[in-house]
Amino acid sequence: MEIYLEWIQEYLLAIVAVVIMVILFFHYLVEKDTGVKLSKRYRNSIFEAQSKVFLNATQYLISGNKDLAIKEFLNAVDINRETIETYFALGGLFRSNGEIEKAISIHRSLIARENISESHRLRALKELAIDFDKGGFVDKAVETYKDVLKINRDQFEVIQSLCRIYEDVEDWDQAYHYRIMLSKVGHNNQAETISHILVQKARIYFEKGEFAKSREDLEDAFRFAPSVSAKILRLRVQLHDGNLEQAKFSLLELLKEHPMYASFIFESLEEGFKGEEAEQEQYSTRLTMLRDYFLELDDSEFLNSPSVILSKVRLLKSRNMLEKAYAIMEPWVNNHPHNSQAIYSEYIKLLIDLGKSEEVVKYTKDFLNSFHQSLTKHYCNECGYNSDEIFWRCPQCHSWETIQFRWKV
């Protein structure tokens, strides 16, 4: 299935050109039957010339030569300036070739025509919005996408584009508004994404010290979906409010459901907020107590997760509790011969700190035999995007909660 999708993406413009040829042929038949005031010979000559042009353009597109394809489409326009599909094809080609200004000019000229149908005018307006979008004219793109929605609100792709833009610029109020709109016109469930967006709003309020607003948006987020980001922020709020027992329960629940996020949890909890100094000190004290609770957890269910093991070890090392860290890692390494490079790396560094020279030599040799250096701490399991920063929404493919953790060597 993926092979077919890749083939379609690669030859998309060529497919469009073929479709246009079919439309032209249909247009020709309609003209023939409805008695257009042209001689039969003249109609045939126009159709034959256009067919030849589109055939040439299709061949150029298949071979990857967009410049020559554009030239052929321009020839088609010279032959018959009333063929709307030719202009759309030409505008799309200019845009895909990076010639945004030319694409904008073509689509604007279509919109300004008097003898164009409303469906074609709407299509031209959408294409113009995409031109602005691809060209980086964000404000104009947003304005034009909204103009499309004023004419027809059931435009899934347009609303989706507005969602992407507002999420890119982190305008979470507008992102929320258009995700709600998208949920009404589309078939995909938007609850999880809306939850993440509300969490982003709540997180900003929390870090500003506006805790009442933060709790309100967080409650709304849970009403849509109990996303991982919502659960982690709830932990932060519970620590701030002094609900330590509830925070312990929430931590336990998170680790049971998502043990791989163990490192994310404590990284996120360490992020500060603009509260009073006394509040920040209290928060720090409660966070230390929560870490202690995590280190004391001895449930085999948790200890089967390498992420939990590494999180514990690094917390212990930060407190210079090397022997305790060794007591956790030594049985894990021996019971899991196919450990990740990150486990081996952390274990070797621990052995060096403890002065266990013979073991260092043994495990270093095994480690070097399969060494592969990790470049980043996190990556997207949808598109492979890499980053050291935590991202709940992938900056590359725009998917939510596709982040995976990769322990850096």
Query: For residues 305 and 40, which has the higher predicted lDDT (pLDDT)?
Result: 305
Q: What is the pLDDT of residue 306?
A: 83
Q: 115-153 pLDDT, tens per residue? A: 888 998 999 999 999 999 999 999 999 999 999 999 999
Q: What is the pLDDT of residue 80?
A: 46
Query: Who contacts 113 (Cβ-Cβ below 8 Å, separation ≥6)?
Result: 121
Q: Which amino acid is at 302?
A: F
- Average of per-residue pLDDT across 308-323: 90
Say how far apart CA 179 and CA 168 lie, in whole Å: 14
Q: What is the pLDDT of residue 166?
A: 97
Q: What is the pLDDT of residue 169?
A: 94
Q: What is the pLDDT of residue 79?
A: 40
Q: What is the pLDDT of residue 26?
A: 55
Q: 354-377 pLDDT, tens per residue? A: 898 888 888 777 666 655 555 567
Is the entire prediction scored with pTM above 0.75?
Answer: no
Query: Who contacts 182 (Cβ-Cβ below 8 Å, separation ≥6)?
Result: 156, 159, 160, 163, 190
- For residue 56, give both structure tokens: 């040439």
- Average of per-residue pLDDT across 310-317: 90
Q: What is the pLDDT of residue 14?
A: 58
Say how far apart CA 209 and CA 145 lie, in whole Å: 35
* Confidence class for position 75, pLDDT limits 50, 70, 90: low
* Confidence class for position 161, pLDDT limits 50, 70, 90: very high
Q: What is the pLDDT of residue 367?
A: 67
- Average of per-residue pLDDT across 58-87: 57
Say how far apart CA 215 and CA 231 lie, in whole Å: 12
Question: What distance, in Å, lies between the first and last C-alpha atoms of the chain?
Answer: 36
Q: 245-298 pLDDT, tens per residue? A: 999 999 999 998 888 888 889 888 988 777 788 888 999 999 999 999 999 988
Say how far apart CA 219 and CA 237 lie, in whole Å: 11
For the chain, what percent of residues have pLDDT higher than 70?
Answer: 75
Q: Is the pLDDT of residue 324 over 50?
A: yes
Asked if 303 contacts 330 with a C-beta cutoff of 8 angstroms, the reply is: no
Query: Who contacts 133 (Cβ-Cβ below 8 Å, separation ≥6)?
Result: 141, 145, 161, 165
Mean model confidence pLDDT for the chain: 80
Q: Is the pLDDT of residue 189 over 80?
A: yes
In the 3-class helix/strand/coil scheme, how is the chain assigned residue by residue? Answer: CHHHHHHHHHCHHHHHHHHHHHHHHHHHHHHHHHCCCCCHHHHHHHHHHHHHHHHHHHHHHHHCCHHHHHHHHHHHHHHCCCCHHHHHHHHHHHHHCCCHHHHHHHHHHHHHCCCCCHHHHHHHHHHHHHHHHHHCCHHHHHHHHHHHHHHCCCCHHHHHHHHHHHHHCCCHHHHHHHHHHHHHHCCCCCHHHHHHHHHHHHHHHHHHCCHHHHHHHHHHHHHHCCCHHHHHHHHHHHHHHCCHHHHHHHHHHHHHHCHHHHHHHHHHHCCCCCCCHHHHHHHHHHHHHHHHHHHHCCCHHHHCCHHHHHHHHHHHHHCCCHHHHHHHHHHHHHHCCCCCHHHHHHHHHHHHHHCCHHHHHHHHHHHHHCCCCCCCCEEECCCCCEECCCCCECCCCCCECCEEECCCC
